[in-house]
Amino acid sequence: MQNRHVIYILIWTGFGLIGHWAGAQQPLRGILPEQRALQIRSPDQLPSRPIPRTPPPATVTDPQWDANPVNLSLSEVLNISLQNLDVVRVLSGVTANSTGRTIYDVAINNTGIDVQRGLFDPNLSANNLWTQNRLPSAVPDLIDPTITNLESTRNNRHALNFGLSQRLLTGGNIDFGVVGSNNRFPNLITPLNPQINSSPSLQFTQPLLQGAGRAVNEAPIVIAMIDTERSFFQFKDSVQRHVLSVVQGYWQLVQARTELWAREQQVRQLQFALKRAEDRVEVGDARLGELSQARVAFENFRAGLLIAEGNLLARESALRNVLGLSPFDNDRIFPTSPLIDERLEWNWNELLDLAEQYRPDVIELKLILEADQQRLLVRQNDTLPRLDAIALYRWNGIEGTMPNGSQISGGGFNDWALGVNFSVPLGLRTARASLRQQELLIQRDQLNLQQGLHQASHDLAVTVRNLELAYAQYRRYQEVRQAAQDNLDQQIEIGNELEQFIVLLQAIVDWGNAVSSEAQALVLYNSELAALELQTGTILESHGIAFVEERFGSLGPLGRRAVPVMYPATTPPTPSVDRYPSGEKPSEERFNLVDPLEAFGIGQPAQPRNSDQEVPRDFAPPDIRLTPDNPTAGENRSRSSPLFSGERIKKFFRSP
């Protein structure tokens, strides 16, 4: 009765405390409360990870043309990018974005293989338990049957359970176990006190239908290995696109520098035309409208020069971004690798064979199909009934002390069992539905692979067409440039035959556009050469880039007392070979950048500089109002302009 009251009190007290806690919304000690509000930390409470400090970036108002020039070949630029390729970046317009791939991805997926293999590791278990039992019982009094006595029997027990099991690749399982117990009954006369029991046993179970065979049991391991291969080729695909981005970014920088040079020459030519128009106005050989037109054209070309400068800064910044460098570090990239201007001879069937064999996206589709075929083995096996053969043999032993104090033991009591267990869900609806689903997935995988091959052929066709078009445009724009040069020479000749200013203006526009178009076509051709290598999946091999497996030490199966085991950690790419030579001059010199005014003895070499410096601040378009009050109109002019210069020192970039 007393124990019952204690139990009732504990139960009602517990309900009361729970009700009080629920009503007051106050948590009990040891009980976690509900989350009934949003807990958002302030940004200043989060761990601080400062952005690396770098010099301010160059802008069109502060282009910093006098920064330290660094001559870099395309091979050197590729090596810089590969050294900084912990996270894979690709160009996207005038910036670079992360692909989400890192050098750790393959090693992370590789751990899944050991996870699946670990299912076949031996499993050891041991349980030790000491207990004391005192169960009360009602016993009638031997003298007075109307009286009942409450007594208890105490049992001190020690139990040991030991087991060692091993799963086999055939699907079977071996279990070895030992069950032992030591029972003592204080103050009690029993046949054996203490009484010690022990039962070693050996059991073997082997599936005969479902779960039987090496192929179905190794399927999860094979799938994990395929997943690692998929991760590797996904990483390789992103690295290939990174290399293409570096190549394209490098050539786009060359094109931007050439574009800037052409716009600078246009401004200088317009400056010359402006002076000529001013001189003609002074001598009364032209109307003021021609001078006004010259001034408008001059300012428009200066605005175009500003855009070209901004494009150059953006292209250099994009290249630095994809290289993993800081936005600006008082260095300027000067490309020196000459562009390729020879036509590539290609074989269409060879390109298709290379794409089918080496393209990472096609390889990944093949691996997906391979993994689903392994899953099909598992699904087919699941549709079989469960039929397991079982064999058991057990050695039973007992020993103890008899009431007379003598010891007795015996171990010849053996058990054995042989049999089969059978079970099957009637209809096997779930298993058969999963099998149909997997068969359909394989059909889908085959279609996706076929589509991948189809898309690869079209990607190659597009790239080949672009390659041929870019080269044809380059050759055609060479002719256009020559024609524009001849036309400009005729228009800027100083002699008795003076053409209308609008004709000269058009000649300058045509010449600048021809130079820019020629450079753009050749840059596009070189970019398409790299794109063709990407479409065939050979861009890394053609650049001599491979992957190296870096390892790290960690705990192995034997734990801390053993020597640390080396495991895969990262898969960074190696540096590239020196495929692209380094020229002695900037890459844009390939376009024979000669000032057209030099033919008339008024030209001077020019290099990229600030548009605000192209025309010095002491130069202003002349005042076109020729009146007696303004006798010096048109004298405030200058043909010279400060040139961009600086010591060109060969060095590698500093890491950000």
Q: Give the span between the Cα atoms of 340 and 456, in whole angstroms.
A: 25
Better pLDDT: 197 or 645: 197
Q: What is the mean pLDDT of residues 477-482?
A: 91
Burial pattern 187-200, b for ≥16 Cβ within 10 A else e, equals eeebebbebbbbbb
Q: What pLDDT is recorded for position 406?
A: 86
Give the least confident one: 21-25, 172-176, 528-532: 21-25
- Of the listed ranges 17-21, 140-144, 166-170, 325-329, the least confidently predicted one is 17-21
Residue 168 in this model has a pLDDT that exceeds 70: yes
Q: What are the Cα distances from residue 273, in Å, to 289, 479, 511?
A: 14, 25, 15
- Kindly indicate the confidence band of residue 102, based on its pLDDT and cuts at 50, 70 and 90: very high
Whether 210 contacts 385, CB under 8 Å: yes
- CA-to-CA distance for 564 and 570, rounded, in angstroms? 18
pLDDT at 15: 57
**Please, are residues 231 and 441 in contact by the beta-carbon 8 Å criterion?**
no
Reply yes or no: is the peptide bond before residue 194 cis, omega within 30 of 0. Answer: yes
Q: What is the DSSP letter of 595?
A: -
- Residue 213: strand, helix, or coil: coil
pLDDT of 546 higher than 90: yes
**Average model confidence (pLDDT) across the chain:** 83
pLDDT in tens, 395-406: 998 898 888 888
Question: Under a CB-based contact definition with an 8 Å cutoff, are residues 202 and 180 in contact?
Answer: no
| Dist. CA 197–CA 180, nearest whole Å | 5
- Could you say which DSSP state residue 482 is in? H
CA–CA dist 580, 590 (Å, integer): 15
**Size of the chain, expressed as the number of residues it contains:** 656
What's the mean pLDDT in 180-204? 88
Which residues lie below 8 Å from residue 140, measured CB to CB, with a gap of 6+?
A: 147, 148, 149
- Tokens found for residue 358: 């080496």
Structure tokens at 262: 């052409």
For residues 39, 43, 49, 53, the Cα torsion angle rounded to the nearest 10 degrees is 170
In single-letter form, the type of residue at position 456 comes to A
pLDDT digits (tens, 9 = 90+) for 248-272: 999 999 999 998 988 888 888 788 7
DSSP-assigned letter for residue 654: P
CA–CA gap between residue 248 and residue 254 (Å, rounded): 10
Query: What are residue 596's phi and psi, to 5 degrees?
Result: -65, -20
Report the b/e string of 451-490 with b at 16+ CB within 10 A. Answer: ebbeebbebbeebbebbeebbebbeebbebbeebbebbee
> In this predicted model, what pLDDT tens digit does every residue of 230-240 receive, in sequence order?
999 999 999 99
- The mean pLDDT value for 635-639 works out to 30
Least confident span in 1-5, 43-47, 216-220: 1-5
What's the sign of the alpha-carbon dihedral 53, 54, 60, 64? Answer: positive
Nearest Cα to Cα of residue 107 among 549, 601, 606: 549
Give the tens place of pLDDT for each residue, 195-204: 899 999 999 9
Is 565 strand, coil or helix? strand
How far apart, in Å, are the Cα atoms of 43 and each of 35, 40, 49, 51, 53? 21, 9, 12, 15, 20
pLDDT at 322 over 70: yes
* Digit-coded pLDDT (tens) for 367-403: 999 999 999 999 999 999 999 999 999 999 889 888 8
Q: Give 52 or 283, the one with higher predicted confidence.
A: 52
What letter would DSSP give residue 118?
Answer: G
At 569 the pLDDT is: 92
Q: Identify the burial level of 132 via C-beta atoms within 10 angstroms of its C-beta, where 0-12 means exposed, 13-18 middle and 19 or more buried.
A: exposed
655 or 505: which leads in pLDDT: 505
> What are the sequence ranges of the domains in the chain?
122-167+172-210+386-423
Tell the burial category of 260 from Cβ atoms under 10 Å away from its Cβ (0-12, 13-18, 19+).
buried
pLDDT at 640: 27
Q: Is the pLDDT of residue 37 over 50?
A: yes
